[in-house]
Amino acid sequence: MELKYKFPKGFWWGAASSAPQSEGAAKEDGKGKNIWDYWHEKQPNRFFNYIGPEKTSDFYHRYKEDIDLMKELNLNSYRTSISWSRLIPGGIGEVNQKAVEFYNNVINEMFKEGIEPFINLYHFDMPFELQQIGGWESKKVVEAYAVYAKNCFKLFGDRVKRWITFNEPIVPVEGGYLYNFHYPDMVDFKKAIQVAYNTMVANARAIEEFRKLKIEDGSIGIVLNLSPPYPRSNNPADLKASTIADLFMNRSFLDPAVKGEYPKALVKLIEKYNHLPKYTEENKIVIKNNKVDFIGVNYYQPRRVKAKENLPNPEAPFMPHHFYDEYIMPGRRMNPYRGWEIYEKGIYDIMIDIKENYENIPCYISENGMGVEGEEKYISDGFIQDDYRIDFIKSHLSWLHKSISEGCNVKGYHLWTFLDNWSWQNAYKNRYGLVALDLETEKRTIKKSGYWFKELIKNNGF
C-alpha cells in the first residue's frame, strides 16, 4: 500500500492517561486521599453528573484486560502516572507495599505485552494532607516530592526508562489559584506565581535525584501544554498582547525546563507588578543545573489573543488577563462539546518553535485528542463510528509529519486517550477514547477510531 504519510522507524505510537483518571479504587488498599477525593466529598456539585474519582474505569482491578486491549490495538507505548497518595499515603513517610505491588504488576504486564510504560509522577493530584500545609506553596512539599520521586526511580527504574516529572504544571496554577477549576479553588496571583515557581524547583529536584541514580538508558522529561499565541492582527498592541500571553502561558515553564532559566522579559514584567516569588540562590542553581532530556507536548487548541478592549477594574484580582484578551476569531472551527477551537497547524508551529528556539530537543506529542459528548448516537453495527475522531487525528498527524520532514526532532504521538476516562470537573461528559466505556457495566468496546489507529500503527503511517 502506498502511504502518504510515513513516520520514522521506531516512532512511539500510543496513548496517555493518568492514575486519578483511570485507576478508581480511591479508598482501597491503603490509598490516601488526594485533593480530588477531598473536593468531590465536599462539593460533588462541582463535577459533571456528580461523578467523582472513586470509580472511574477501574484500571486498578482491570489493568490486565486494558493492557490486553492496548496490545490488540498495536500500541507500543503508553503513559500513565503514579498516584502519589497511593504510593505514599499522606505524601510523606512509609511506602505503601500494596501500591508497589500494583505498579509492579502494571509495569510488568505492559512489558510482557510489548508496550513501553512512560511513567509520570504528578498529574494534578496533590495528596490532601500536603495541600493542607500549602501544597506547592510550601518548600516542605517540594522536598517531599523529591523524596517521592526518588522512591519511584528506585522502585521501578530498573524497568521504566522514560520518566516524566509533571503533566501540564501550569494547569494546577490556573485551575487552583486563578480561574477556579481545581482545588484549592483560590484567586490569588501572588500565590499562583509562587506555586508555578516551586513546581519548577520540584521538577529540577526530581531530575537531580534521577541523575544521581544513574539509571541505565533512562531519560526524564516534562509534559507541557503549549500553544503558540496567534495575535488578532499585526497591530502593535495585538502583537504586544500576544508576546505577553506567550511569556505567561508557554515560556514560563518551557524555558526553565529546557534552558534552566526564566525569560528575562517575564521576570521583568512580574517584578514591575511586585509579584516575584520568594526564591533562594540555591533554587536558581538547582533549576540551572537540572534540565529535562525531552519535552512532551500536549496540544488541543490554539490560543488567540488581542489587545485589551477595556481597562481592567483596578479593584479586581490581578490576572495574566490584565495584559490581553482572548480573541474569538470569526469562522473558527470548534469542537462544540469541549468548547475548544480545532486548528491543526498549531502542532506544526509548536514543533518549529522547539526546533528553532530550544535546540531541537527531543520531543513527542504526549496528548492530542477530541472529547465528544453523547457518542452513543454514532453507534451502528454495535460500535461507535467516530469518523470525526479519525479525521481529527489524521489532520493533526499530517502537520506533525510536515514538521518531521523539516527536521523537527519528534519521537512519537500519544493520543488522549486509550479508553474513555474520567476528566476532572467534566467527569464522563466528553469521551476521548479509542475504546468506549459503558459506565454501568464497565464493558469496553473498541470504536472505529480504535480499529483505524491499529492499522495506523501497523503501517507506521497512513
Report, as residue numbers or ranges, the catalytic residues: 367
Query: Residue 277, Cβ neighbours under 10 Å: how many?
Result: 18
> Whole-angstrom Cα distance, residue 177 to residue 29?
32
Stretch that binds ligand BG6, among 56-64, 242-250, 254-262, 419-427 (CB under 6 A): 419-427
Amino acid of residue 444: R
Selected binder of ligand BG6 within 168, 238, 246, 386 (CB under 6 A): 168
Q: Where would I find the beta strands (DSSP E) of 188-234?
A: 219-225, 229-231
Stretch that binds ligand BG6, among 39-47, 78-86, 182-190, 421-429 (CB under 6 A): 421-429
> Whole-angstrom Cα distance, residue 179 to residue 144?
27
Stretch that binds ligand BG6, among 105-113, 138-146, 187-195, 424-432 (CB under 6 A): 424-432
User: Smallest distance, Å, CB 13 to ligand BG6?
Assistant: 19
User: Smallest distance, Å, CB 337 to ligand BG6?
Assistant: 9
CB 305, CB 238: distance < 8 Å:
yes
User: Smallest distance, Å, CB 441 to ligand BG6?
Assistant: 23
Residue nearest to ligand BG6 (CB): 423
User: Smallest distance, Å, CB 154 to ligand BG6?
Assistant: 26
* Phi, psi of 308, deg, nearest 5: -65, 140
Task: Closer to ligand BG6 by CB, 23 or 238: give it.
Answer: 23
> Whole-angstrom Cα distance, residue 391 to residue 389?
5
If DSSP codes are grouped into helix, strand and coil, which group holds residue 192?
helix
User: Smallest distance, Å, CB 101 to ligand BG6?
Assistant: 25
Query: Residue 393, Cβ neighbours under 10 Å: how many?
Result: 21
Site string for ligand BG6, 126-165 (x = CB under 6 A): ----------------------------------------
User: Smallest distance, Å, CB 362 to ligand BG6?
Assistant: 20
Cell of 179: 480561574
CB 35, CB 49: distance < 8 Å:
no
Q: What is the DSSP string of 130-146?
A: HHHTTGGG-HHHHHHHH
User: Smallest distance, Å, CB 313 to ligand BG6?
Assistant: 28
Eight-class DSSP state of 8: P
Q: Distance between terminal CA atoms of the chain?
A: 9
Closest CA to 168 of 298, 45, 75, 258: 298
Residues 219-258 that bind ligand BG6 (CB under 6 A): 225
Selected binder of ligand BG6 within 118, 424, 453, 462 (CB under 6 A): 424
Q: Across the chain, how many H-helices and E-strands are there?
A: 16, 19
Query: Residue 313, Cβ neighbours under 10 Å: how many?
Result: 7
Stretch that binds ligand BG6, among 157-165, 351-359, 386-394, 422-430 (CB under 6 A): 422-430
Site string for ligand BG6, 280-309 (x = CB under 6 A): ------------------x-----------
Closest CA to 248 of 166, 170, 195: 170
Stretch that binds ligand BG6, among 46-54, 75-83, 418-426, 440-448 (CB under 6 A): 418-426
CB 420, CB 432: distance < 8 Å:
yes
User: Around 389, how many Cα atoms within 13 Å sit in the side-chain half-sphere?
Assistant: 29
β-pairing, 340-341 vs 363-367, is unpaired
Selected binder of ligand BG6 within 7, 13, 14, 18 (CB under 6 A): 18
User: Smallest distance, Å, CB 300 to ligand BG6?
Assistant: 6
CA dihedral sign, ordered 388, 182, 348, 160: negative
Selected binder of ligand BG6 within 430, 433, 437, 447 (CB under 6 A): 430
Selected binder of ligand BG6 within 167, 199, 242, 409 (CB under 6 A): 167
Task: Closer to ligand BG6 by CB, 62 or 414: give it.
Answer: 414
Selected binder of ligand BG6 within 338, 389, 447, 448 (CB under 6 A): 338
Closest CA to 375 of 421, 300, 436, 441: 436
Site string for ligand BG6, 349-378 (x = CB under 6 A): ------------------x---x-------
Task: Closer to ligand BG6 by CB, 181 or 383: give it.
Answer: 181
Selected binder of ligand BG6 within 22, 120, 203, 423 (CB under 6 A): 423
Which chain residues interact with ligand BG6 by CB under 6 A? 18, 21, 167-168, 225, 298, 338, 367, 371, 416, 423-424, 426, 430
